[in-house]
């Protein structure tokens, strides 16, 4: 997995995105580097989980509904795309399929949403850092401490990612931090 996080700083109207620079294949660090944040028009999306989910999104990028105004259109697109590729499973006691992928969707206007493994959306309030990936708890814990010390948005994102990298073996590499739009 990886660590991804996003934060909208309403005071400066900046959106900060963070991730680790390397990936794992099981317990092996992958030699390639990549940026998990994919841009589609006024939107960026990053996914954490199996690499196949991001690979499929890249393959189907031309069909991505980049001009829609709400991320529910993306969820519909992701669900149908994953069904087309026969990804997903449903246990007897679940209301919907799990696609074994988690992520964040960010609009250029500062809106941020969390995506869970069942492709359910949750709105993340402005000023609230949110993270996904195996190092999520470390990132959120670091941000709690930094936010209580009134750290700036860039520092919060950078140190949240750094904490995940330091404490979670599945978040290798270094912190990649950028703004959107960048």
pLDDT per residue as tens digits for the range 82-126: 999 999 999 989 899 899 999 999 999 999 999 999 999 999 999
Calculate the average pLDDT of the chain. Answer: 93
Contact of 136 with 92, CB cutoff 8 Å? no
**pLDDT of amino acid 165:** 97
Q: Under 8 Å CB-to-CB from 77, ≥6 apart: which residues?
A: 63, 64, 65
- Length of the chain measured in residues: 182
**pLDDT of amino acid 124:** 98
Q: What is the mean pLDDT of residues 26-45?
A: 86
Q: What is the mean pLDDT of residues 37-66?
A: 90
**pLDDT of amino acid 155:** 98
Q: What is d(CA 101, CA 52) in angstroms, rounded to the nearest whole number? A: 10
Under the banding of pLDDT at 50, 70 and 90, the label for residue 16 is very high
**pLDDT of amino acid 33:** 67
Q: Could you give the percent of the chain with pLDDT greater than 90? A: 77
Q: What is d(CA 9, CA 22) in angstroms, rounded to the nearest whole number? A: 26
**pLDDT of amino acid 25:** 79
**pLDDT of amino acid 65:** 93
Q: Could you give the percent of the chain with pLDDT greater than 70? A: 98
**pLDDT of amino acid 1:** 64
For residue 143, what are the CA distances in angstroms to 12, 33, 40, 171? 18, 25, 28, 17
**pLDDT of amino acid 28:** 84
What is the helix, strand, coil percentage profile of the chain, to 5? 30, 35, 35
How does pLDDT run across 127-171, given as a tens digit for each residue?
A: 999 999 999 999 999 999 999 999 999 999 999 999 999 999 999
Q: What is d(CA 99, CA 108) in angstroms, rounded to the nearest whole number? A: 26
**pLDDT of amino acid 34:** 73
Assign domain 3-180 to a CATH class.
Answer: alpha beta
**Whole-prediction pTM:** 0.93
């Amino acid at each position: 997995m990886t660590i991804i996080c996003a934060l909208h700083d309403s005071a400066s109207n900046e959106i900060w995105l963070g991730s680790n620079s390397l990936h794992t294949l099981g317990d092996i660090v992958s030699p390639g580097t990549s940026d998990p944040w994919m841009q589609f028009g006024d939107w960026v999306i990053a996914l954490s989980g199996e690499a196949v989910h991001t690979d499929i999104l890249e393959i189907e990028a031309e069909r991505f509904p980049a001009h829609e105004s709400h991320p529910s259109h993306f969820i519909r697109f992701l669900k149908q795309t994953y069904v087309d590729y026969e990804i997903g499973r449903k246990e007897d006691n679940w209301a919907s399929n799990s696609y074994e992928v988690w992520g964040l969707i960010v609009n250029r206007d500062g809106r941020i949403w969390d995506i869970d493994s069942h492709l359910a959306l949750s709105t993340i309030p402005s000023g609230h850092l949110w993270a996904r990936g195996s190092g999520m708890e470390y990132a959120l814990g670091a941000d709690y401490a930094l936010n209580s010390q009134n750290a700036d948005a860039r520092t919060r994102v950078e140190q949240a990612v750094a904490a995940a990298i330091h404490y979670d073996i599945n978040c290798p590499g270094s912190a990649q931090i950028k703004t959107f739009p960048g």
